[in-house]
Amino acid sequence: MSFTYIWLKFTILLALLWGLSSCNNIPEAIMLANTERVDTLDFNEYKYVIDKKNRRGYVTMENEVMEGRYVIKRNGIMVEEFTIEGGFLNGKRILYYENGLPESIETYKTSLQHGPVTTFYSSGSIKSETSYTNGTANVEETQYDETGAITLKKLEQDGVVYEHSYMDGNRMVSIFEKTIENQIYELIIKYDSFGTIQLIM
């Protein structure tokens, strides 16, 4: 392998890395790096229709099925971006605050939410993490305050939903919920700041 060939590959790699690092929006940089062509539309240049499976099908204002990677702007400001395959959302959909930082990153399969969902504060820190399966929200969820501390954790195991609320890193309330023969049963436990149980209901 010649020195010229190695140098050319190295130069291309450096150019790509520089391009990604110079982009102020990391999710956008990742998505653009994986796409050859991106179409930019104003929010009023497309529409969607709901089908029998409650999926959003995307079309142009001339009713042409959309296909490809799109960046959507409103008054010149990017508000979201997504990938359309055969008229349906597939992969990541990113919604943006006016400051250019992501408000949420959602995952879709044929226009149904399927996969992880992350929401953010306008400062850029993570607000919540959850996921969907074929359009249905999974029980597991974690919420954070703007400092990154966990404020709520929720999950389901063996038919029992566990929900724990936190303040300043300490668990304050735990709720255990189980449905038996269409009847919901709850156990609520409250703690003090030292983690000692104060009340069981």
How do the domains of the chain map onto residue ranges?
24-144, 149-201
Mean pLDDT over 158-179 rounds to 90
14 band by pLDDT with thresholds 50, 70 and 90? very low
Task: Report d(CA 37, CA 92) in Å as an integer.
Answer: 16
Per-residue pLDDT at 6: 45
> Average pLDDT of the chain?
84
Question: For residue 85, is pLDDT > 90?
Answer: yes
Per-residue pLDDT at 37: 79
Per-residue pLDDT at 13: 46
Percent of the chain with pLDDT over 90: 55
36 band by pLDDT with thresholds 50, 70 and 90? low
Closest CA to 82 of 45, 126, 35: 35
The residues, ordered by sequence, that sit 6+ positions from 36 with a Cβ below 8 Å of its Cβ are none
Question: For residue 195, is pLDDT > 90?
Answer: no
Per-residue pLDDT at 65: 92
Percent of the chain with pLDDT over 70: 82
Question: For residue 53, is pLDDT > 50?
Answer: yes
Mean pLDDT over 62-72 rounds to 93
Per-residue pLDDT at 200: 82
Q: Is CATH 2.20.110 the classification given to domain 24-144? A: yes
The residues, ordered by sequence, that sit 6+ positions from 187 with a Cβ below 8 Å of its Cβ are 175, 176, 177, 200, 201
Per-residue pLDDT at 54: 83
Question: For residue 96, is pLDDT > 90?
Answer: yes
